[in-house]
Chain A
Amino acid sequence: MSALDAMYQQLILEHAKSRSGADLTADEATSMPDQPGVGQCHQLNPVCGDEITLRLELEAAGSQSTVKGIHWHGDGCAISMASASILSELSEGASPDELGEMIGHFRELMRSRGRLEPDDEILGDAAALAGVAKYPARVKCAMLAWVAAEDALRQAVATGR
């Protein structure tokens, strides 16, 4: 498999088209939610114009809380859109700590220039994005949704208490 094919795997291209969680409307994307346990973040990559507004909702699960869902509105390249789609699917039902660990691991993987192997247990489908790490110019594309999720999670946890 060429480096290009390793980056644009079938799974990635399918996510780029299906875009799980891409159901936040343009109106919702421009207004900040004022609810406890909900966070929202807008991220823009000025280099290529890739853009995402991501909303994360927590719900109570016993004494803990878990991610009810990630919904987003965005436009960008196949890598940024697939990455947001995968994140949206992965995050559902995760505890804030688990999602935080996922984001941390994904960031390390992306910054590794291809030296780290992805942990499938933690990253699931996002492991398929490992090929992006060999293209430093594209790492920001893959990270866009994850950076937004990290901030949205911080807000959701802060207001959810």
Chain B
Amino acid sequence: MIDADVVVGLEVHCQLDTKSKLFCGCSTDYRNDGPNTHVCPVCLGLPGTMPVLNKRAIEYAMRVAKALNCTIIPESEFSRKNYFYPDLDKAYQITQYDKPLAEGGYVEIDGDDGKERKIPLTRIHVEEDPGRLVHMGNAERGRYSLVDYNRAGIPLIEIVSEPEMSSPKEARKFLNKLRATLEYLGVFDSDKEGSLRVDANISLRGSERVEIKNITSYKGVEKALTFEVTRQKNLLRRGLKVERETRHYLEARGITQSARSKEQENDYRYFPEPDLRPLRVQSWIKDIKLPELPDARRERFVQQYGCSLNHARTLTGELKMANFFEAVVAGDGKGLCTLAATWIADTLAGELNYRSMGIDAVDAKSFTSLLVLLKARTITDKSGIEIMRVMLDERLKGETVETPEAIVSRLNLAKTTGNDAELLGVIHDVIKENLKAVEDYRAGKNGALNFLVGQTMKKTRGRADPGELNRLMVEALKSAEQ
């Protein structure tokens, strides 16, 4: 079976980065505070309290709707989704049901076939986040659970896609693009823990659909879907049927697990929330202004800085990285653009990812200095990487981060030059110590020169320019012959 048979749809819940909650004045900045410290009678659902809609949250949601090319519905409505759960203090969630804020729209990704693809959206609606349970022990056998309502009432948007992604990888791209767009809009902070949660639908064409609930990381979505594709294909291969069901993703184990059937039988008894008036936004629509979005910025990076399309895509794929790039090239634009694009998109991004660090950890000025050293050929590329690693590790350990210049001098990384006596000395040493290789070279054996150059590189710890070294080695071998 080929990948074209996979059908994926996503429901993405994102916390909107407003200052106060969706229906009360409580602060949303709860992550560094103790449990139940950002609560009031309204978000605790105390008897008699009533919701008052946070206009800012609706503006944010409308920005998203506009950026994703949705049709904003002039009159939408909040409904109650009724179910019992200890983290849901009113025993209903105020959400939007049959009259959402926006419908239609699409997210453009570069598909697996390399072509740009528009993944259509069904709808976007606004709702409140429930609180959070903290299980003491594990969920199955823990003796009790504690409940924290700090999160209760945080505004969420739910973005529902049509089932038109054809692989886990496309789902990941969809999410990345969505995240970038939301960040560019200034309505979402992906660094905040739990700010994004995804439910994914997946089916193999002709089979039943499986829903994977509550995946909490970007990587998790791709992993969970990949696991499901394999699981479902194996079932079919063994002649079994895929059951229509809800499954949970177990992040730590990288697998999905069938939810208890009880959880699938909820009848939410939706009805219009009588404590809120219909939401009329017609007069706001024209006031929604959009900033430059990822696609436009990508085009601009190609035009303005001469970035390759791939580099531009990587750089603009995250707001902070795009801003970082522009900060670097703004300082000394001339001639650094191409170098900066390569070093940020290829090298730095990888080093950061390896350390699970964000680009916030890097100082644009220091990074510019590093590029200047590379541009002036004061250091080799290899030394450049070493310096970058030193700086990142220092930051990671919470030490004072040295300037690239300081690292160059402390580690003696300045590139050797042709008339560097030390380098010539090393070359002679290498020739003396590797007579066998020298013979091989003279016998015309391929690879002997590379071996000798490599040995020299090792001794100089990468400070020598490879091209230069090659030339000097050939000369040295010639003169040694005479």
Task: Say whether A and B bind each other.
Answer: no
Interface residues of B (CB under 8 A from A): none
Interface residues of A (CB under 8 A from B): none
